[in-house]
Chain A
Amino acid sequence: MKFALLSNVNIESVARRVGRHQPYLAQGYGAWTQELADPASAMWSFGPSAVFLIVDGAELLRGQQGLDSALGEIEGHLAWIDGASERSPGIKFFVSTVDVPAQAPRALKHGHLERRLEQHWQAGIFRVSANRANVYVFDLKALVEDVGRAQFYSNKRWYLGGLRFSLTGEKLIAKELERILYAQIVARKKCLLLDLDNTLWGGIIGEDGLEGIQLSESGEGARYKDFQRCIRRLGEMGVILGIVSKNNQGDVFEVFENHEHMVLKKEDFAILKIDWSPKAQSIAEVAQDLDIGLDSLVFIDDNPVERESVHSALPEVTVPEFPADTCELSAFLEQIYKDCFFTLESTEEDRKRTEAYLSNAKRAAERSATVSIDEFLAALRTKISLGKLRDDDVPRAAQLTQKTNQFNLTTRRYTEQQVQAFRTTPGMAVFIASVADKYGDNGKVFLGIVRKLSADTAELDTFLMSCRVMGRFIEDQILDQLVKELRADGISKLRVHLIPSKKNAPARGFIERLSGGRLLSNDASGTMTWEFDIAQTSPVSRSPYAELLTR
């Protein structure tokens, strides 16, 4: 792409930092206005499709005596820019804001000259930009403000070679130039997919409930509300928004309907994938439903395992690192905007795009994409450490029964005393497991309580697992191991209970995966009991993938 870079200071060092395409350069005092004003100048015959004007504030006002003369100088420049952009409507002009550092010591009473001149210039170019569709503002002043003048300028470079900007300053200008250039030749991403728990709000809705999640106008929960505001703004600019979350739909819809601080509404999303299927699969479906490429999707999730799963199964999808400090969520989204969704202007058409995609998605037939979840799981290097409950595990075991809602077959709450009693009751066994993977140790996340009912029959009193490691078939492998141990103990029949609750749909999904069960009872309260013959076979059909250590 051909572009011209004009400046009132030496800009060649910046130009060297911009990509492969060398621009037409005009630099130095007077040179740039001459190029603009003279229709026969070499710049026009170069044939740029974009012209950048990088205006150094100190240089712009050098030698000006007094306010009126400086304001006149500014008006003159603005008139050249306006005239040039009017003559060449097919060329895009990017005109910088200016930063004017104080030029000399001045008494406080007379100290505001630079500010007034700055404001006059900024107001002038915004006026030109508003009047001319082909004129845009290049916000140089914002770049200075982000790092501060001490970082942005370099006196040594200025005195040595007339280079106004420091290395930092040059790199920032070059990056902004590239972003604007690429925005004109590279298609931006189309769709932003978001996780919910610990992403749009703090905490886990399935565990913490409507009152327990962090989301508020002020205080700690405000970081999520501010994040939602930024996301809504992206939606207004034509970015399609979607949710990909492992959750119960009912819990999520309750937040949408009843949480007063939800900025984002259900209608803001063209896509709602709220279920327990692997996220890579859901995302592949999103691309099909919306009929867009996987490379148009950006996926935000706080959980590194989920990010890795999507990245490894669908490498075309952009999966940014999530900020370690959630106070930086808004800055994080600003960066995603710049990297993925940056646009010179958002049109009415853009804004309507979400609506159009929404109806597309509704029409799309139910299709399911097959994605290799197995490869992803193998790459996690999961280690399960399973053993009988020890004395010092008792507090954690009780806590797991108290707090676990989603993957919990019976949701029976026990105190430490009760758990301690189970450990020592003949015919009962309590198992606990910790899970580690290449991202670290998740700690003790599984609890199982087995009760012997007769010489050959046992039941699962409790079978639960923290949501931290859900969706990775860890429960399958643990049950398979428990079955082996029970069989070695002479047990041939295993009874499994499901007490349905508002939250434990994932537990139901697990039972539906098991094979060979015979429904024994289905009582009025909703409790269901299956019996599995484990003498020869295991109810678990998934082959194990994690390393399992028993103690």
Chain B
Amino acid sequence: MEQKLIAVVAAALGVPTSGLELETTADEVEAWDSMGHINVISEIEAEFGVSIPIEKIADIHRIRDFLPYLGEKA
């Protein structure tokens, strides 16, 4: 599941998976700007079939922070 998460984030940002790990933060990836952040959230919602509440989105800074929202479908 963690590998899939990294792959989905990479695809959303248009960057290779090799540069990403669970601890990677948005600040470390140039493409992960505010628009990139929205695209990451949309891709994760679509790929994992989940919904991340808008209230929680400001608290997400690194890839690991998505894990609690992936649910059982992943």
Contacts and interface: CB of A to CB of B under 8 A. Distances in A.
B39 interface: yes
B42 A167 contact: yes
B46 interface: yes
B43 A13 contact: no
B18 interface: no
Given A12-B35, A13-B35, A160 B43 contact: no
Contact of A167 (B34, B43, B54): B43
A159 interface: yes
Contact of B42 (A12, A157, A159): A157
A318 B39 CA distance: 34
A161 B38 contact: yes
B46 A167 contact: yes
B interface, over-half SS: helix
Q: In the complex, which of the residues A13, A154, A160, A166 has the most CB atoms of chain B within 10 Å of its own CB atom?
A: A160
A12 B34 CA distance: 12
Contacts of A154: 42
A163 B36 CA distance: 11
B43 A161 contact: no
B69 to A, nearest CB: 13
B74 interface: no
B38 A160 contact: yes
Q: In the complex, which of the residues A13, A157, A163, A167 has the most CB atoms of chain B within 10 Å of its own CB atom?
A: A167
Interface in B47-66: 54, 57
B13 to A, nearest CB: 10
Interface string A127-158: 00000000000000000000000000010110
Interface string B18-36: 0000000000000000110
A396 interface: no
Contact of A161 (B14, B34, B45, B46): B34
A16 interface: yes
Interface residues of A, number: 12
Nearest to A161: B38
Interface string A1-36: 000000000001100100000000000000000000
Contacts of A160: 38, 41, 54, 57
Interface residues of B, number: 13
Given A161-B34, A167-B46, A13 B54 contact: no
A340 to B, nearest CB: 27
A163 B37 CA distance: 12
Nearest to A163: B38
A163 B46 CA distance: 16
B61 to A, nearest CB: 15
B50 to A, nearest CB: 12
A167 B57 contact: no
A160 B37 CA distance: 10
A159 B54 contact: yes
B14 A16 contact: yes
Nearest to B46: A167
Nearest to A12: B35
Contacts of B14: 16
Interface in A145-196: 154, 156-157, 159-161, 163, 166-167
A160 B42 CA distance: 11
A388 to B, nearest CB: 55
Contacts of A12: 35
Contacts of B39: 13, 167
Contacts of B37: 161
Contacts of B57: 160
A12 B35 CA distance: 9
B54 A157 contact: no
A166 B42 contact: yes
A154 to B, nearest CB: 7
Q: In the complex, which of the residues A12, A156, A157, A161 has the most CB atoms of chain B within 10 Å of its own CB atom?
A: A156
Nearest to B47: A167
Contacts of B34: 161
A163 B33 CA distance: 14
A156 B14 CA distance: 21
A471 B37 CA distance: 57
Nearest to B14: A16
A127 B14 CA distance: 40
A10 to B, nearest CB: 8
Q: In the complex, which of the residues A12, A161, A166 has the most CB atoms of chain B within 10 Å of its own CB atom?
A: A161
A537 B24 CA distance: 75
Nearest to A156: B54
Contacts of A161: 34-35, 37-38
Interface string A449-484: 000000000000000000000000000000000000
B38 to A, nearest CB: 5
Contacts of B35: 12-13, 16, 161, 163
17 contacts: A12-B35, A13-B35, A154-B42, A156-B42, A156-B54, A157-B42, A159-B54, A160-B41, A160-B54, A160-B57, A161-B34, A161-B35, A161-B37, A161-B38, A166-B42, A167-B39, A167-B43
Given A16-B35, A156-B41, A159-B54, 12 more contacts: A12-B35, A13-B35, A154-B42, A156-B54, A157-B38, A160-B41, A160-B54, A161-B35, A163-B38, A167-B39, A167-B42, A167-B43
Interface of A: 12-13, 16, 154, 156-157, 159-161, 163, 166-167
Task: Identify the 5 closest CB pairs spanning chains A and B, nearest first.
Answer: A161-B38, A167-B42, A160-B38, A13-B35, A157-B38
